[in-house]
Chains A and B, each alone.
Chain A
Amino acid sequence: MSDFKIAQRETNNVNVLELKGYLDAHTAPKLEEAFQQLLKSDRTRIVVNCRDLSYISSAGLGVFMAFIEDVREKSGDIKLTNMSTKVYNVFDLLGFPLLYEIFKDESEAVKKFNDKK
């Protein structure tokens, strides 16, 4: 079985999703559900911490693509942090750094949300 977990918490009015394990076509629906729940309750200031994310395929990347527009329409954003080089390289190959803000550390992304106020 693919091992993938999402832990969710709130810090300084920002919703943090911590991803752990392998994000592929089998596990991507879990992330989709997490984004759906956040959107439904208008929690659109989202930081995705990828510190423990070991693997991502296009099915996982597609989930970010699917939600970014709706999130931004509601004046929110999805910011990504703490990626390993291996995971970053996949995002980079597809040009995602043009579309998403990617930070080395979660605290920088949280600060960016709160600086905007």
Chain B
Amino acid sequence: MKKQLKIDSKTDQLVAVREFISQAAFASGFSDEDVSKIALAVDEACTNVIKHAYRFQQDKKITITVRDDHGNFEISIVDNGKQFDPSMLQAPDMKEYLSTYRRGGLGVYLMKSLMDKVEYDIEPGKRNQVKLIKHIPR
């Protein structure tokens, strides 16, 4: 199975992203709880692209591709925006984070907590890809 959705880099598209991902995850046999987790992780990845890679430029595109392959549910999120700052890829230490009332960076922590694997493939100045992977329950 392979499905694709192309969206404008606008936050009002997030609802369509969550619906697209939820339908695909349900079709692959995930429970309600897991479907919610996957949809949230993909929302976070797209929000990061809109905010950090495209800096709210609304005329850019994000391509979301879902594959159900060898027991893995794999979502790829591709943009052609600014290269990710490597420090963005680090999830914060939540204890320290909460004690200092910081804001931002929560999305990366959530993605890592909600999915089995998060991978980045960055071609500087050309293309950023985030891959979110969850094992399909048998």
Which A residues fall within an 8 A CB radius of B? 1-2, 22, 24-26, 55, 57-59, 61-62, 65-66, 68-69, 86, 90, 93-96, 98-99
Contacts and interface: CB of A to CB of B under 8 A. Distances in A.
Contacts of B36: 86
A24 B102 CA distance: 18
Given A22-B15, A24-B14, A25-B47, A62 B94 contact: no
B44 A62 contact: no
Residue picked from B51, B98, B102, most chain A C-beta under 10 Å: B98
A100 B18 CA distance: 28
Count class of interface residues, chain B: 20 to 34
B40 A95 contact: no
Interface string B87-116: 000000011001001111011011001100
Contact of B101 (A2, A69, A93): A69
A112 to B, nearest CB: 21
A25 B106 CA distance: 12
B103 A66 contact: yes
B50 interface: yes
A57 B40 contact: yes
Contacts of B121: none
